[in-house]
A and B are shown apart, each in its own frame.
Chain A
Amino acid sequence: MRKKDHTKPPRWASTFLRNYCRDEFREEIEGDVYELFEARLVNLGSRKAGLLFIWDVIRFFRWSNIKKVKFLNLSQPMVKNNLTVALRVLRRQRMASFINTLSLTLGITAVTLIYFFINEEFSYDQFHSKNEQIYRLVKDNYESENEIRSTSGYHPLPLSEKLVEDLPEVMAATRISHNEYYMRLDGKMQEESIFFADPNLLTTFDFPMIRGDKSSVLSNQGSVVLTERAANRLFNTIDVIGKSIEFRIGRGGFKEFLVTGVAENVPSNSTIQFDILLPYTDAAHYARFKDYWRINTDETYLLLNPAVDRTNFDEKLEMQWTNYMPHKVADMEENGFAPFKYRLQPLSEVHLNTEISGLSEASDPMYSYILGIIGSVILLIGCANFMILSIGRSASRAKEIAIRKVVGAGKKQLIFQFWSEAFVLSIISAALAVGLVYLLLPTFNELADKRIEFAAMVNLQNVAVLTCLTFFAGIMAGLYPAIILSGLKSLDVFRRKVKLGGANLFTKSLVTFQFALSIVLVLGTLIIYQQVDFLKNKDLGFDGKDVIVLKNRLSGKASAQKELKDQLAANPNVLSFAEVSSSFTNGRFQSSYETENGKEIPYFMYRISTNYLSLLEIEILEGRDFDGKLATDTLDAVVVNKAFIRELGPDFKLGDRIENFDNADLKSPRVVGIVEDYNFESLDIELKPVLLSIQRFSGFQDLLIKTAPGKSGEVLSSLESSWYEMASSIPFSYSFLEDDLEAQYAKEQRWASIIQYAAVWAVLLAVLGLMGLVALSIAGRIKEFGVRKVLGASTWHLYRIIVKQYAIWLTVALAIALPVAVYVMKQWLSDFAYHINISPLLLAVGIAILFGLVLLVLAINALNAGKRSTMEALRLE
C-alpha cells in the first residue's frame, strides 16, 4: 500500500476537483485551495488542513465551476439520419423486427396492466381528506401475557359512544355494519345488500353528496341514502329525495324508508363499499344490543384529533375497556393477564392487512408483490430478446459500423445510434401496448377481480409512468448492443477478425435466464392448478352431490312453508330435505365461548333441522343424531364436531353440558353427539369448532334438498311452478351445493389463471427469442452446413448439431429454475391448511412440455436449414 503523504491534500478530493472543474478556472481554483492547504498545514496540522481542503473542494462544486459535459455532438441532420437508418433496419429485417416489437409490446403491456393493479391496491382509502386521522379500532386477543391469539375488528355496540364520551382525543366514532335484506319497491321484492352506519360516516369520510346535506341525511331513523348508481338502478333518476322504499330488516315486516340523499358512487378503491345506506340505529340488532357489552359485532372507526400525542393515547386506549366491562376485568384478575387490548389501525392499512378479521375482505399484498415481480420479469425477457437479436445481427452490421467509424463517428455517436434504434422500437411497442391494454383490460379485470376503467386510467401520472417505462425499455434493450457494437475496432472488422453472432456467452446466458424464468412460471402454474384441483375434489367429510340449496324465502309465511315441505315429502325424486340457518358458503354465525377457566373458544354455530346430518352423510363418531321427537333435543341439546371437543379438553365427555355457554337462547347445552370434522369452511382455513342445534328457529335461510341422482332438473321445475303459485312476488332462487363449494376457491382459481397467462406470456417471449437466435446462428453457419451436406449429412444430423449447441444451456436453466420453483411453491402451499405435496411427476411433465417446445423450435429451424439449396449456401460471398 502506498504510504499516506500528510503534506499533500487528500487524493480523492484533488482528483475530484480536477475532474469536475472547468478547464478555464482550474488553475486559479486549484492554486488557491492548495495555497490555503499549505498555509493551514503549518498552522492547524495535517488532519484539519485535509478536512478543510475537502470542504473547500466541495464548496467549489457549484454550477458555474462544473464542466459542461459535451455528451453528444448532435446535429439535426445526424438525428434524422439515425432515425432513417433505424427505420430502414427495422424494415429490412422483418423477422427480427417483428420479434423485437412483439417482445417489447408484450412486455410493456404486462407491466402496464400489473401497474394498474398494484396502483389500485396501494391507493385504497387514500382519497379521504382526513385519511391520516381515521383509524379502525381493533383488539388483540391474548393467549397468554405476551402471546396474541388473534386480532379482530369487532366490538360491542355501546363502546363507540363511551369512547367519544370518555376520551377527548376521539372526535367521532363511526360504527358500520352490513347485511342482505329484502327491499320492496312498487310491489316487487328483491334482495339487496344494505349498509348501516352512524350518521358521521359522511362527515368523517369523504363520500360526497349529490343531493342532500351530508351532515343531516342520516340523522333520523327511517331515512335512506342511495348512491348515484343505486338511484339510477331503482328509480332511473337521481332526483329521488322523498321517495319511499320498503325494507324488511330483521324479523319484523316491511318498514317504510324515505330517501334523504344521493351520494356519489363509492370509488372502487374504498374499503367501505355501500350502495344503499341506512342509519345505524335501523340495523336489525341495534335495539337488542345497543347497551349490551357481551357481544362483539360491528366495526368501529375513530376520528382522532390531529393534535393527539399518539404514544400517550395508545397507552390509554389499550386498557380503556376495563372501565366498561367488569366481567372481563374479573377474568383478567383471575388469569393474571389482560384477555385483550385495544389498538388503532390506520385506515390506509386496513385493505392490505389480512390478519385482522373484519367486515370487508382484505387483500394480501403478497399478490401485488408477486405480480409486480412477474411483470418486471416479462419486461426483462422482452428486452433480452431485443439484445439477443441485436447482438446476433451485429455481424452483418459490423461493416456499417466500421464505415461510420472510418468516416469519423465517435463512440458516443454510435452508442446514440443504437440507442435510437432501440427507442424507435420501444416507442412503437408502447403505442401498440396501449392498444393491447385497452383490449385486454376487461379480461384482466375479470381475472384480477377489479373494476379498472381504461378512461379513468388516462391521466397525467399514468402517462408519465408509461413514458418512463418506454424509456426504461429502450435503455435496457439498447444497453448491450450500444456498448458492445460501438466498441468494435474498424480494422478488425475489415480484416474479418470479429466473430460476433449467436455464439457469445452473454447471449447464451440471456437465453438461459429466459428459460429459467419460463420454467419457474410453468411449474408454478401446474402446481397451482393441481392444488386447486385438490381443493375441489378433497373428501370434505360430507356428501354434497345432488344437493340443491334453495333460498328459503318463505319464512314468515307459515302456510306456504308447510305446503312446500309437504310437496317435497311427497316428491319421489326427493330423497331427503333439511333446513339450515345458512348453507356452507351462504354466511355463517361466528362467535366465541368462554369456558369457566377463562379460555375463549371461537366457534361456528348452525341451526339445523333433524335430518341435516343424515342428508349430508356426516359421520357420527359418538352419541347420536338429533331426534325431533325428544323434547329435550329441541330444547338444549347440541351436536358438536371433534374440534370443539378437543378445545373443551380431555375431561369433557359425551352427555356433559357445556357450562356457562349462553348464546342465542342456548344456555349450557348438553352434547348428545360428536361428529367427524367436516370441512364446512374453505380448505385454506384450519378446521374450527362447530356447534349444531335443532332449537326452534324461524330464520332458516336455506333449504337443502337431496335428490335422486340425475333428477335435480325435474325436482326444480316442479318446485318452481308450485313456488310461484304460493308466493308469486318472491323470487325463486337456488344453487347446487357442489357449485357453491367450488366457488369458495374462486380466488385460487383466479390466481391460477393469472399465473397461467403470465407463464404463457413468458414462454411465448422466450421461444420467440430462441427462434430468432437459432435462426441467426444458423445463418452464420450456412457455409458450414452446406459443406456438411455436400459431405452427406442428413437434416437429422444438422438437427443434432443445433440441439447440442443449446442443450447445455437449457440444462443450466433447469438447474437454476427447479429449486427456485420448488421453494417458492412450497411457500405458497404452506398457506393452505390442506395442501398437496409437490410431485416429481408433475415437475417432470412441466419440464417435458417446455423442452418439447424448444426441440420443436429447433427442429423447424433445422428443417429450414436442411431445405436450403446447398449450392446457394456455398456460393454465398
Chain B
Amino acid sequence: MKGTYLGEFEELVLLTVGALYDEAYGVAVMDEIKNETKRGVNISAIHSALRRLEEKGFVKSRMGGATNERGGRRKRYFVLTSYGKKALDDAQSLRMKLYNRIPNMSFGN
C-alpha cells in the first residue's frame, strides 16, 4: 500500500496546493501555509513534501515560463491530480465520520 498514506504535513501541503490552484510553487505554498496556520516552515521541507506527493501521484508538476524574478529561474508549478483530490476527500470523509460520532455531552471538561 505504499504511497496511499497521507501524513499530517503532507495533507496540509496537498490542501494548500489545491487551494492555490494554478499558482502553487514552493515559495507560494510556504507563504500560504505560514499565513493560514501561523506555522514556521522551512522551504526545504515544502520541497521534500511536494516531491513525495508527486511520487505518490497526488500532484503533478510542470515548469513555468522564465521571468525576470529569481535571476531568471523558472518555477515548478504543482496541481492537484484527481487521485490527490480523492485522497483529500477520503481523509475528509473519514474525519467527518469520526467527528459525527462524538456524542454531544461527552466533554470531560
Interface positions of A (Cβ within 8 A of B): 25, 27-36, 38, 55-56, 59-60, 62, 64-65
Contacts and interface: CB of A to CB of B under 8 A. Distances in A.
A28 B44 contact: no
Contacts of B42: 55-56, 59
A56 B73 contact: no
Contacts of A34: 70-71, 73
Nearest to A59: B44
B104 to A, nearest CB: 45
B74 A32 contact: no
Contacts of A38: 69-70
Contacts of A55: 42
A610 B31 CA distance: 103
Contact of B75 (A31, A60, A65): A31
B91 interface: no
B47 A31 contact: no
A56 B40 CA distance: 13
6 contacts: A28-B25, A29-B47, A34-B71, A34-B73, A60-B44, A64-B51
Nearest to B50: A28
B43 interface: yes
B27 interface: yes
Contacts of B51: 64
B71 A32 contact: no
Contacts of B48: 62, 64
Nearest to A33: B43
A25 B76 CA distance: 10
Given A32-B25, A32-B26, A35-B27, A62 B44 contact: yes
A28 B26 contact: yes
Given A56-B42, A59-B42, A32 B47 contact: yes
Contacts of B69: 35, 38
Nearest to B42: A59
Interface string B70-89: 11011110000000000000
A59 B70 contact: no
B51 to A, nearest CB: 7
Interface in B48-76: 48, 51, 63, 69-71, 73-76
A593 B67 CA distance: 95
A60 B47 contact: yes
Contacts of A60: 43-44, 47
A27 B73 contact: yes
Contacts of B75: 28, 31-32
A56 B76 CA distance: 18
Contacts of B63: 27-28
Contacts of B73: 27-28, 30-31, 34
A28 B50 CA distance: 12
> Ordered nearest first, which 4 A-B pairs have the shortest CB separation?
A31-B73, A59-B44, A32-B26, A28-B76
A36 B44 contact: no
Contact of B70 (A35, A62, A64, A65): A35
A275 to B, nearest CB: 65
A36 B29 CA distance: 12
A41 to B, nearest CB: 13
Contact of B74 (A31, A56, A59): A31
Contacts of A59: 42-45
A36 B76 contact: no
A28 B64 CA distance: 10
Contacts of A35: 27, 69-70
Of B44, B48, B69, B73, most A-chain CB atoms within 10 Å: B44
A34 B67 CA distance: 13
A30 B74 CA distance: 9
Nearest to A61: B44
B48 to A, nearest CB: 7
Contacts of A30: 70-71, 73
A15 B26 CA distance: 21
B70 A56 contact: no
Contacts of A64: 48, 51
A67 B34 CA distance: 30
Given A28-B63, A30-B71, A36-B27, 13 more contacts: A27-B73, A27-B76, A28-B47, A28-B75, A30-B73, A31-B26, A31-B70, A31-B71, A34-B71, A35-B27, A59-B43, A59-B45, A64-B51
Contacts of B74: 27-28, 31
A56 B43 contact: yes
Contacts of B45: 59
A81 B26 CA distance: 49
Contacts of A31: 26, 70-71, 73-75
Contacts of A62: 44, 48
B31 to A, nearest CB: 9
A64 to B, nearest CB: 7
A68 B45 CA distance: 20
Nearest to B46: A32
Contacts of B76: 27-28
Contacts of B25: 28, 32
Nearest to B71: A34
Contacts of B70: 30-32, 34-35, 38
A64 B44 CA distance: 11
A27 B63 CA distance: 10
B20 to A, nearest CB: 15
A33 B27 CA distance: 8
A62 B51 CA distance: 13
Contacts of A65: 44, 47
B93 to A, nearest CB: 32
Contacts of A29: 26, 47
Nearest to A14: B71
A62 B71 CA distance: 24
A757 B73 CA distance: 68
Contacts of A28: 25-26, 47, 63, 73-76
A60 B30 CA distance: 15
A238 to B, nearest CB: 61
Nearest to B69: A35
B33 to A, nearest CB: 14
Contacts of A27: 63, 73-74, 76
A657 to B, nearest CB: 87
A314 B25 CA distance: 64
A9 B35 CA distance: 25
